[in-house]
Amino acid sequence: MIMKKDFISIADYSPEALQGILDLAIELKKERLEKGENKPLLKGKVLGMIFQKPSLRTRVSFDMAMRQLGGDALYLSPNEIGLGQRESVADVARVLAGYVDVIMARVFAHQHVLDLAKWASIPVINALSDYDHPCQGMGDALTIIEKFGSLKGLNVTFVGDGNNVAVSLLHICSKLGANFTLASPEGYDLSSKALEEGKTFAAKSGSSIRTIRDPHEAVKNADVIYTDTWTSMGQEEETEKRKKVFPPYQVNAKLVSEAKPETIVMHCLPAHRGQEITDEVADGPHSVLFPQAHNRMHAQKAIIVSLFR
Ligand code: CP
Ligand code: NVA
């Protein structure tokens, strides 16, 4: 029997497999842009999309990825399933596996996406958990490759909270040979698990991992400056506390001017303009925010197709 595949974390994949998915994403994007359509590689396949949290990009980009490849997608809102509350995760996984061909889940607890993968006989994709956001990491890698050709040897700096988006960026950078720096306030570091994973992968790819407090030091020589919200979904009660801690980590024109002249600025969106990023930077010449958002769809097409190969 062939083992089904899942896409739970970039950490689970070899650099070669990740590069293969990114090469396919480039190919599918080119096909779509040049011919106006893709071959129906997912004809007859349906993606079940479980959301425990809100979304614009993830919901629309997965739905359109499926449609453009000849398949379909079914949106299941937070109220409908009650994952782990109305019904156990194991039961949801086994029921859905009889209706759809692949499951995508945006969850609070990372364990829930792991449990879905354990109990479903079909592929499961992590569409953001409290631990990581691997589909974001793949779209981000595609965006960086489009600008610089590859990740190898680049200096990628994440400024802000050592959150789920930072973890997937750390994973993809360390797997594919980019040097990763996190500048975060004390108490908002990467988890020790993510840091250990990153160090292991970086040792193999020949890149480096650095975690520091000073955002100015962190962006020196940066090819990529990345930021995300100061308060992630599920942490809303900490909003006011975080608004007091994070202002020195705002990505503004002064900070960007301290990086390489050709540096690009990235943000997974949604952006809180005037907090982690200024309008001037988000809409300025270094920003790749919107192509980055669009690349989620191209990367996810390749992720889904690769799960059936
Ligand atoms: N970047 C991202 O995942 O956006 P959404 O929360 O809108 O899906
Ligand atoms: N870190 C953010 C990312 C949103 C796409 C969150 O988890 O809310």
Q: Per-residue pLDDT tens for 30-64?
A: 999 999 999 999 999 999 999 999 999 999 999 99
Question: Do 160 and 184 meet the contact criterion of CB atoms below 8 Å apart?
Answer: yes
Q: Is the CB of 275 under 6 A from ligand 2?
A: no
pLDDT at site 204: 98
Interval between CA 228 and ligand 2 midpoint (Å) = 7
- pLDDT tens for 268-301 read 999 999 999 999 999 999 999 999 999 999 999 9
Q: Give the active site residue among 115, 223, 228, 300.
A: 228
Distance of alpha carbon 1 from alpha carbon 149, whole angstroms: 38
pLDDT at site 61: 98
Least distant ligand from the CA of 267: 1
- pLDDT tens for 154-211 read 999 999 999 999 999 999 999 999 999 999 999 999 999 999 999 999 999 999 999 9
3-state SS record for 124-165: EEECCCCCCCHHHHHHHHHHHHHHHCCCCCCEEEEECCCCHH
Question: Do 267 and 227 meet the contact criterion of CB atoms below 8 Å apart?
Answer: yes
Distances (CA, A) of 210 to 152, 184, 219: 16, 11, 12
Q: How far is Cα of residue 234 from the mean position of the Cα atoms in its chain?
A: 17
Whether the per-residue pLDDT at 1 is higher than 80: the answer is no
161 marked ligand binding residue: no
Q: With a cut of 0.95, is the ipTM above it? A: yes
Whether the per-residue pLDDT at 2 is higher than 80: the answer is no
Q: Give the active site residue among 59, 112, 286, 296.
A: 296
- pLDDT tens for 239-253 read 999 999 999 999 999
Looking at residue 86, the DSSP 8-state letter turns out to be T
Distance of alpha carbon 19 from alpha carbon 178, whole angstroms: 13
pLDDT at site 90: 97
Residue 87 β-bridge partners? 83
Overall CATH class of domain 136-293: alpha beta
Question: Do 304 and 102 meet the contact criterion of CB atoms below 8 Å apart?
Answer: yes
pLDDT at site 3: 87
The segment(s) of the chain belonging to CATH 3.40.50.1370 are: 10-133+296-307, 136-293
- pLDDT tens for 94-120 read 999 999 999 999 999 999 999 999 999
Angle formed by the axes of helices 15-35 and 192-205, nearest 10°: 90
268 marked ligand binding residue: yes
Interval between CA 131 and ligand 2 midpoint (Å) = 10
- pLDDT tens for 60-77 read 999 999 999 999 999 999
Q: Which CATH number fits domain 10-133+296-307: 3.30.530.80, 1.10.10.60, 3.40.50.1370, 2.30.42.10?
A: 3.40.50.1370
Distance of alpha carbon 182 from alpha carbon 171, whole angstroms: 12
Averaged pLDDT, 253-267:
98
Tell me, yes or no, if 173 is annotated catalytic.
Answer: no
